[in-house]
Amino acid sequence: MPEEYRWSAPQVPGPSTNVAQAYARFARDYRDGTHFCNMTPAEWDHVIEVNLNGAFYISRAALPHMVEQGYGRIINISSVIGETGNIGQANYAAAKSGLFGLTMSLALESAGKGITVNCVAPGFVETEMVAAVPEEILTRIVEQIPLRRLGRPDEVARVVAFLADPASSYITGQIFSINGGLNM
């Protein structure tokens, strides 16, 4: 494992005292807008490294601690783009859909050990990244969302908190789409 990905488990109060009960990956550092035929291997690799490999390294570091204590929650943060794809975002879509396979595989491997692994796939949410989208494009995006609005960060956080709760112990290997009905 590269040195920059080494991670030591933090102390967290509650049922999971040695590792974080849940972690979220909001990867704001992605490069998009490059059509696949024009995408360089470096552009591809950067987005995969941040959005998919980062999840691998964090999970790989945390899971042994969770197994040892017989409890844990892993919550991957994907994107509606992982479910639908998007022009100019083949690298991002591949990384985010890769989180679905990682989530389901880890859920199967850790089932019966007190560990759940789930994934949240937000749609277009009021964030700095979405705020940078030109207004005319954002208007067209919102018109395609059945609820006719952007999501709020607290709406995504509520699902993550629900999945992180010890009472959510029978939910594993699932992908939760939070997108105002955009992808149904």
Half-sphere exposure of 45 (CA within 13 A, CB side): 3
Q: What is the CATH number of domain 11-178?
A: 3.40.50.720
Q: Rounded to two decimals, what is the model's pTM?
A: 0.81
DSSP state at residue 151: B
Angle at 65 between CA 5 and CA 110, to 5 degrees: 100
User: What is the rounded average pLDDT for all residues in the chain?
Assistant: 85
Enter the DSSP assignment of 77: E
At 33 the pLDDT is: 63
Question: Catalytic amino acids?
Answer: 92
Supply the DSSP symbol for 90: H
pLDDT tens digits, residue range 140-170? 999 999 999 999 999 999 999 999 999 999 9
Sign of the CA dihedral 9, 11, 17, 23?
negative
Q: Is the pLDDT of residue 76 over 80?
A: yes
